[in-house]
Amino acid sequence: MEKKTEQYDVVIIGGGAAGLTAGIYCGRARLKTLILEKSLVGGLATYTNEIENYPGFPEGATGTELMGLFHKQAKKFGVDFKMTDVKSVSVDGDVKIVETFRIRYECKAIIIASGGKPRLTGAQNEDKYLYDKGISFCATCDAASNTGKTVMVVGSGDAAIEEGMFLTKFADRVIVSVMHEHGKMDCNEIAKTEALENPKMEFIWNTVVHSFEGEERLDTVVLRNVKTNELHKVLVDSCFLFIGYVPNTEIFTGMIDMNRNGYIRINDRMETNVPGVFAAGDVCDKFLKQVATAVGDGAIAGYGAEKYISECEVYENQILNHGKPSVVYLWNATDAACRELLPVMEAFEQAHSTEFRVTKVDVYKSPGLAARLGIDTVPAIAYVTEGKIRRVITENINEASLASLLS
Ligand SMILES: Cc1cc2nc3c(=O)[nH]c(=O)nc-3n(C[C@H](O)[C@H](O)[C@H](O)COP(=O)(O)OP(=O)(O)OC[C@H]3O[C@@H](n4cnc5c(N)ncnc54)[C@H](O)[C@@H]3O)c2cc1C
């Protein structure tokens, strides 16, 4: 089957907090923007019952409410949404390709905001009970069906303990398996104190999951004491795993630079190692994975994509393919030598506007253009004809050296 091809300025992979924010920035910059989301617009945050630390919502908000607002705002700025799974990407060259089952999207920039998926324990029989058979990753989704029941929570980080406390509103017993010593948990101190005081919460310390058991549905979790290796059977109705996430980066393997755990390496502009490919949110190798930081990343990536596209256009249309020879003045407004040279350049531009096209590039605002020209010092002149850089002058730039370009 021949795939249909569609063109966009920016394609954003993933419609969570990071992708939606990037979409808001790109849409507002009037870029033709598409967000591809394979499961639920709003991403991971929609699985969270209460978000209390996102600024601007002093009463807190459910993840679904908050993400609903993000979604509405992205749509307001004209962002297109398609509910589909990205199968592959090709990032070489100026035209990037993002492919789904039916459509091949061509675009100028890609923003990877594909987040992560829950980490599994790797214990025996885990696959047999995933999702609707008793092992869950979402308290918001599955708490109500556990009303009056006994559930296990595996993990002791913020997500495990906060979602565990939420589960106590429904379940009669919430048994938490913690791999650390008695009293030691990975969550914040406030959550820890509240959880330890919660009469519905019980803790089994120094344990990891050995296996999951049950007929059709999970009914027993077998824990192993990490100190004694003793096995301990716990009867449960459901088990919630909150032991971290693994990034959704398989389709970028070998193309985009990642750390050893598969998180994408980015710089402070959210650029990956491939020009025109940005990453934002939980998919990145970064210190804090939260909605607030995903939003910051998305804003930078969206702004970066806009800059990248406009730099590509200047490079292609003004510098390389303008018909007449091009003189590029690379400068930085904060540099005294650059400022001094500015009137000389402007006089040159006026005198030779019929022979040359002069383009001034502020390297502070447009570092990408300087990088494309392969120039890392200012002031500098690049002389370009027929799409090729013929000469670069970085020293003794003056009327005489500029005039030498005429000969
Ligand atoms: C239980 C829990 C509680 C939390 N509580 C809080 C909290 O209180 N406060 C807070 O700030 N943060 C909280 N977080 C963290 C927060 O949810 C995340 O940091 C945030 O949602 C990350 O957003 P993101 O856009 O980077 O990724 P995600 O929200 O994971 O979005 C990525 C999206 O990409 C999609 N996707 C992936 N691969 C593809 C593909 N190939 N094609 C198309 N789409 C794809 C996914 O379906 C997903 O929707 C919590 C997380 C959990 C799990």
Judged against a pLDDT cut of 90, whether residue 365 lies above it is answered with no
Alpha carbon separation from 132 to 27, 47, 219, 247, 295 (Å, rounded):
38, 15, 13, 23, 31
Q: Which of 16, 177, 239, 5 is closest to 103 using CA atoms? A: 5
Which atom of ligand 1 is nearest the CA belonging to 84? 43
pLDDT in tens, 199-240: 999 999 999 999 999 999 999 999 999 999 999 999 999 999
Is residue 103 a contact partner of residue 5, using CB atoms and an 8 Å limit?
yes
CA of 89 to the centre of ligand 1 (A): 21
Percent residues over pLDDT 70 in the chain: 100
Alpha carbon separation from 6 to 32, 38, 96 (Å, rounded):
11, 18, 12
CA of 115 to the centre of ligand 1 (A): 5
Question: Hey, which of 34, 44, 57 would you mutate to test ligand 1's pocket, going by the most ligand atoms within 8 Å of its Cβ?
Answer: 44
Alpha carbon separation from 150 to 171, 176, 227, 278 (Å, rounded):
6, 11, 26, 44
Q: How far apart are CA 340 and CA 397, in angstroms?
A: 11
What SS3 state is found at 299? helix
Judged against a pLDDT cut of 80, whether residue 1 lies above it is answered with no
DSSP secondary structure, 101-159, as one string: SSEEEEEEEEEE---EEEPP---BTGGGGBGGGSEES-HHHHSGGGTTSEEEEE--SHH
Which atom of ligand 1 is nearest the CA belonging to 14? 34
Judged against a pLDDT cut of 90, whether residue 124 lies above it is answered with yes
Alpha carbon separation from 217 to 131, 214, 252 (Å, rounded):
10, 6, 36
Q: How far apart are CA 263 and CA 116, in angstroms?
A: 9
Is residue 361 a contact partner of residue 369, using CB atoms and an 8 Å limit?
yes
pLDDT in tens, 369-384: 998 888 989 999 999 9
Token pair 């025109």: residue: 276
Question: Hey, which of 47, 48, 59, 102 would you mutate to test ligand 1's pocket, going by the most ligand atoms within 8 Å of its Cβ?
Answer: 48
Cis ω before 343 (30° cut-off from 0): no
Task: Return the structure tokens found at 298.
Answer: 């998305």
Which atom of ligand 1 is nearest the CA belonging to 283? 26
User: Is 164 touching ligand 1 by the criterion CB < 6 Å?
Assistant: no
- Our measurement of the distance from residue 228's CA atom to the centroid of its chain's CA atoms, rounded to an integer in Å, reads 41
Q: How far apart are CA 32 and CA 30, in angstroms?
A: 6
CA of 340 to the centre of ligand 1 (A): 50
Q: How far apart are CA 126 and CA 122, in angstroms?
A: 7
pLDDT in tens, 131-157: 789 999 988 778 999 999 999 999 999
Q: How far apart are CA 33 and CA 13, in angstroms?
A: 11
**pLDDT the model gives residue 264:** 98
**pLDDT the model gives residue 129:** 96
Is residue 115 a contact partner of residue 18, using CB atoms and an 8 Å limit?
yes
Judged against a pLDDT cut of 90, whether residue 242 lies above it is answered with yes
Domains and CATH numbers, the chain: 4-117+245-315 (3.50.50.60), 120-241 (3.50.50.60), 321-404 (3.40.30.10)
User: Is 243 touching ligand 1 by the criterion CB < 6 Å?
Assistant: no
pLDDT in tens, 51-82: 888 999 999 899 999 999 999 999 999 999 99
**pLDDT the model gives residue 31:** 98
Judged against a pLDDT cut of 90, whether residue 339 lies above it is answered with yes
Task: Return the structure tokens found at 166.
Answer: 């939420």
User: Is 51 touching ligand 1 by the criterion CB < 6 Å?
Assistant: yes
Which atom of ligand 1 is nearest the CA belonging to 50? 8
Q: Which of 218, 384, 253, 258 is closest to 314 using CA atoms? A: 384
User: Is 211 touching ligand 1 by the criterion CB < 6 Å?
Assistant: no
